[in-house]
């Protein structure tokens, strides 16, 4: 062991290629016992492949997978003490719900009485009691999803793997089950690795959020850290809805000290960027940080409203930044704030909410 | 029906046309069978005096007595030949499935050197008529001392039935989501256990169809049986039947009666297996 702590699962220098196409490279991921790690990323970035490699359903091209202090890279899935919930649920169609739940325990020659006990327990937790004697085809989508989770928890594995388990559910159910999954995780005390491309799921479920980009880990950490301190424009744009505003600007120094200009608008420079030399920058401003100008959020420009979306609890106002070559911008205002197309709103931002990126590399400038 | 079973005029006409067409199709399919029945139950063979709808004039069971050897003191022999047919066909079905299922699974799920060539080879064997293999098979089985024995026929029939069985099962396995096996393997199964406990049960309808097909092809086969079997005790029913319409005489009555006797087991099997054949077991396994 290189480090002192033994993690529940650790992925080391993982590389995975299908034929010539490299799908994952240089992936290092440590999951402490009891942690909830969420993998997010655009479609095709390698999330499922990483999960499946941890499960043992794919073998890595190079690198290793560790469970505790065991190298499991060469072990088949059945010897890894994991359970997996598939996007499609993958329930055994020829077996009743009860038999689906018991399947893994039967294979492991668990005594009948214990099987019955564990099935009853899982069934009670997930509310499957009335469904135990049905076949999968006699269940609704949400019920199937619960059976798939039940099949994972009866096994009491060391680790749970989820591959987009909620993507086949409707929005309301998804929000409900999302909470259930986190509760279940806390209750079972296992370690969870969870794949999703839904950023609400990612933000709300994760202890550790791991954002994959083209097969590499772009950033990993607590969700709010990724949200507030993205290492790159990519991360900043991936998380948050509506998307972060990215505007081309200049970091300049005048007699009055450093500031950022975007067209004719001017922003003050947050403390952490004060050491930078004058240069072109990309200014990242989250819509919910842009507010009508006030004392804490001094005005830096004027938004000409072109369009707005009133959601009831808040309103997203789309417009252009005056004097900045008609740069498109989205801000969030309270729903009691009346806006109309053609309005000009003086907008401000608290200086510390500004993030800066290098225009060429897209990396964040605060290091 | 939602409206209490009553149909409006338009639906009536439609139902009438559909039923008329279906009845027509049934008559078309059953007409020759009716002839066979008539001949089998008639004392005077084909003499139905040109009726359009054949029907026996003088009912008799004599043809059945002849066909089954009851009236010629050969019923034990006939029974033995019936058992031959049953065992040979059932064994062919079992052996074909036993070999085809693992082969088809490998072809459906795994990548290996020679896969494409193997598949083309299997396809190629389908292009030759059975007769072409009769002579080589005769020599092979004679070397193996399997001539005149049921095991010899089983080997020959299984070899013939295999390519089709493999293609059939390969398609069936490919239609099963891989995730089912992956789920089983994560649940604690080896690949083999996943195959036995998940793939095979899910593919049961396809296995039933394939087995039935192998059974039927063995049950009806004549050319190889006639070539490879020379002792009467080793005959299967198609060979027995054929003897009634030999070179010298054409005993159509017993021949027809025999055909009916030969068809009964097959009809029984179809009747028993129809649920298996029609069930869509994969429904509801994946996706909401
Ligand atoms: N068996 C395979 N053979 C070849 N390429 C594959 C295979 N499986 C995945 N890939 C490729 O690897 C890349 C990553 O796939 P993966 O399924 O891991 O993406 P993902 O992040 O899960 O995407 P999604 O969000 O759409 O599920 C894709 O470009 C895909 O085409
Ligand atoms: Mg995926």
Model pLDDT for residues B115-169, shown as the tens digit of each residue? 999 999 999 988 888 788 888 999 999 999 999 999 999 999 999 999 999 999 9
In this structure, the residue with its CA closest to atom 30 of ligand 1 is: A44
Question: Inter-chain contact B198–A92, Cβ cutoff 8 Å?
Answer: yes
Which of chain A's residues have a Cβ under 8 Å away from the Cβ of B288? Answer: 89, 140-142, 144-145, 168-169
Are the beta carbons of A39 and A27 closer than 8 angstroms? no
pLDDT one-digit tens code per residue, B39-62: 888 887 665 566 667 778 788 888
pLDDT of residue B285: 43
C-alpha A97/C-alpha A109 separation (Å) is 19
Residue B283's pLDDT band (boundaries 50, 70, 90)?
A: very low
Statement: residue B221 has pLDDT above 60? yes
How far, in Å, is the centroid of ligand 1 from the Cα of A76? 21
**What is the per-residue pLDDT across A84-136, written as a single tens digit (0 to 9) for each?**
999 999 999 999 999 999 999 999 999 999 999 999 999 999 999 999 999 99
pLDDT digits (tens, 9 = 90+) for A296-332: 888 888 999 999 999 988 999 999 998 887 788 999 9
The pLDDT value given to residue B150: 93
Q: How far is the CA of B209 from the centre of ligand 2 (A)?
A: 35
Q: What is the pTM of this model?
A: 0.86
With a cut of 90, say whether residue A62 has pLDDT above it.
yes
How many Å apart are CA B203 and CA B140, to the nearest integer?
34
Contacts of B284 in chain A (CB under 8 A): 91, 93, 135-139, 144
pLDDT band for position A264 (cuts 50, 70, 90): confident
| Closest chain A residue to the Cα of B187, Cα to Cα | A104
pLDDT of B19 > 80? The answer is yes
User: pLDDT class for B260, splitting at 50, 70, 90?
Assistant: very high
Query: In angstroms, what is the span from residue A47 Cα to ligand 2's centroid?
Result: 6
Q: Which atom, in ligand 1's list, is nearest to the CA of A41? A: 21
* Contact at CB, A92 and B185, closer than 8 angstroms: no
Chain A contacts of B185, Cβ < 8 Å?
56-57, 76-78
pLDDT in tens, A63-89: 999 999 999 999 999 999 999 999 999
CA-to-CA distance for A349 and A294, rounded, in angstroms? 9
Q: Is the pLDDT of residue A251 over 80?
A: yes
Tell me the three-class secondary structure of chain A, residue by residue.
CCCCCCCCEEEEEEEEEECCEEEEEEEEEEECCCCEEEEEECCCCCHHHHHHHHHCCCCCCEEEEEECCEECCCCCHHHCCEEEECCCCCCCCCCCHHHHHHHHHHHCCCCHHHHHHHHHHHHHHHCCHHHCCCCHHHCCHHHHHHHHHHHHHCCCCCEEEEECCCCCCCHHHHHHHHHHHHHHHHHHCCEEEEECCCHHHHHHHCCEEEEEECCEEEEEECHHHHHHCCCEHHHHHHCCCCCCEEEEEEEEEECCEEEEEECCEEEECCHHHCCCCCEEEEEEECHHHCEECCCCCCEEEEEEEEEEEECCCEEEEEEEECCCCCEEEEEEEECCCCCCCCCEEEEECCHHHCEEECCCCCEECCC
Nearest CA to ligand 1 atom 24: A43
* Overall average pLDDT of the B105-115 stretch: 94
Predicted confidence band at B272 (pLDDT cuts at 50, 70, 90)? confident
Residue-wise pLDDT for B66-108, tens only, equals 888 888 888 899 999 999 999 999 999 999 999 999 999 999 9
Mutate which of A25, A47, A57 for ligand 1? The one with the most ligand atoms within 8 Å of its CB, which is A47
| Angstroms from B279 CA to nearest CA on chain A | 11
- What separation in Å is there between the alpha carbon of A104 and the centre of ligand 2? 24
Q: Which pLDDT tens digit goes with each residue over A225-247?
A: 999 999 999 999 999 989 999 99
In this complex, do A57 and B186 lie within 8 Å of one another by their Cβ atoms?
A: yes
Q: Which residues of B touch A142 (CB under 8 A)?
A: 288
The closest residue, in CA terms, to atom 1 on ligand 1 is A18
Cα A49 to averaged position of ligand 1 atoms, centre (Å): 6
pLDDT higher for B249 or A217?
Answer: A217
Q: Does A316 touch chain B (CB under 8 A)?
A: no
Q: What's the pLDDT score for residue A258?
A: 87
Q: Which of B192, B182, B185 is nearest to A86 (CA)?
A: B182
- What pLDDT sits at residue A119? 96
Asked if the model's pLDDT at residue B182 lies above 60, the reply is yes
Q: What percent of chain B has pLDDT over 70?
A: 89
| Residue A351 binned pLDDT confidence (cut-offs 50, 70, 90) | confident
A1 falls in which pLDDT band (50, 70, 90)? Answer: very low
Specify the pLDDT at position B279. Answer: 58
pLDDT band per the 50, 70, 90 thresholds, residue A355: very high
Instruction: Check: CB of residue A209 under 8 Å from CB of residue A40.
Output: yes
Among the bound ligands, the one closest to the CA of A44: 1
Rounded distance, CA A221 to CA A163, Å?
20
CATH code at B72-281: 1.10.3720.10
- Structural domains of chain A ordered from first start: 7-237 (3.40.50.300), 245-357 (2.40.50.140)
Contact A159/B at CB under 8 A: no
Can you tell me the mean pLDDT for A198-220?
95
Domain spans of chain B? 4-60, 72-281
pLDDT value, residue A235: 96
Instruction: List the single best residue of B109, B179, B186 to mutate versus A (max A Cβ within 10 A).
Output: B186
Distance CA B58, CA A195 (A): 79
């Amino acid at each position: 062991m290189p480090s002192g702590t033994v993690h529940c699962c650790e992925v080391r220098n993982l590389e995975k290629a299908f034929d010539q196409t490299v799908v994952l490279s240089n992936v290092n991921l440590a999951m402490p016992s009891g942690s909830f790690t969420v993998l997010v990323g655009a479609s095709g970035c390698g999330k499922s492949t990483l999960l499946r490699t941890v499960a043992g359903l794919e073998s890595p091209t190079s690198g290793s997978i560790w469970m505790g202090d065991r190298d499991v890279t060469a072990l088949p899935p059945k010897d890894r003490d994991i359970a997996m919930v598939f996007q499609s649920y993958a329930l055994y169609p020829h077996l009743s719900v009860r038999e689906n739940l018991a399947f893994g325990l039967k294979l492991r020659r668990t005594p009948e009485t214990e099987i019955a006990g564990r099935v009853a327990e899982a069934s009670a937790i997930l509310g499957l009691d009335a469904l135990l004697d049905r076949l999968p085809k006699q269940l609704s989508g949400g019920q199937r999803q619960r059976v798939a989770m039940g099949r994972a928890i009866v096994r009491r594995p060391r680790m749970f793997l989820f591959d987009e388990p909620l993507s086949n559910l409707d929005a309301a159910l998804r929000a409900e089950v999302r909470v259930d999954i986190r509760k279940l995780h806390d209750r079972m005390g296992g370690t969870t690795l969870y794949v999703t491309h839904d950023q609400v799921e990612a933000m709300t479920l994760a202890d550790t959020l791991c954002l994959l980009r083209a097969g590499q880990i772009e950033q990993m950490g607590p969700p709010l850290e990724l949200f507030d301190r993205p290492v790159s424009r990519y991360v900043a744009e991936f998380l948050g809805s509506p998307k972060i505003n990215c505007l081309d600007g200049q970091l300049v120094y005048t007699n009055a000290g450093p500031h950022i200009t975007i067209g004719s608008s001017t922003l003050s420079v947050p403390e952490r960027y004060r050491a930078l030399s004058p240069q072109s920058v990309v200014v990242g401003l989250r819509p919910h940080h842009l507010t009508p100008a006030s004392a804490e959020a001094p005005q830096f420009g004027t938004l000409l409203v072109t369009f707005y979306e009133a959601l009831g609890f808040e309103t997203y106002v789309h417009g252009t930044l005056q004097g900045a070559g008609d740069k498109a911008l989205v801000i969030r205002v309270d729903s009691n704030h009346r806006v109309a197309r053609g309005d000009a709103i003086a907008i401000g931002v608290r200086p510390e909410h500004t993030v800066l990126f290098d225009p060429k590399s897209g990396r964040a400038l605060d290091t | 029906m939602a409206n209490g079973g009553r149909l409006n005029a338009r639906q009536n006409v439609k139902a009438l046309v559909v039923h008329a067409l279906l009845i027509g199709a049934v008559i078309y399919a059953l007409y020759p069978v009716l002839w066979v029945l008539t001949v089998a139950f008639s004392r005077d063979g084909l003499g139905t005096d040109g009726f359009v709808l054949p029907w026996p004039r003088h009912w008799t069971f004599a043809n059945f007595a002849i066909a089954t050897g009851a009236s010629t003191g050969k019923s034990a022999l006939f029974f033995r030949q019936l058992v031959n047919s049953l065992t040979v066909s059932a064994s062919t079905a079992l052996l074909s499935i036993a070999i085809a299922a693992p082969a088809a699974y490998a072809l459906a799920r795994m990548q290996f050197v020679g896969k494409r060539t193997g598949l083309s080879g299997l396809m190629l064997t389908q292009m030759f008529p059975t007769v072409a293999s009769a002579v080589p098979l005769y020599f092979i089985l004679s070397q193996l001392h399997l001539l005149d024995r049921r095991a010899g026929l089983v080997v020959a029939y299984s070899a013939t039935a295999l390519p089709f069985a493999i293609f059939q099962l390969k398609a069936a396995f490919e239609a099963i989501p891989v995730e089912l096996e992956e789920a089983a393997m994560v649940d604690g199964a080896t690949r083999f256990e996943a195959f036995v406990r998940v793939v095979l049960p899910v593919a049961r309808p396809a296995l039933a169809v394939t087995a039935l097909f192998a059974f039927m092809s063995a049950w009806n086969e004549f050319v190889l049986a006639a070539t490879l079997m020379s002792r009467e005790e080793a005959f299967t029913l198609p060979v027995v039947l054929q003897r009634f319409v030999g070179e010298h005489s054409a005993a159509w009555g017993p021949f027809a009666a025999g055909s009916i006797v030969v068809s009964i087991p097959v009809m029984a099997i179809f009747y028993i297996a129809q649920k298996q054949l029609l069930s869509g077991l994969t429904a509801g396994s994946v996706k909401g």
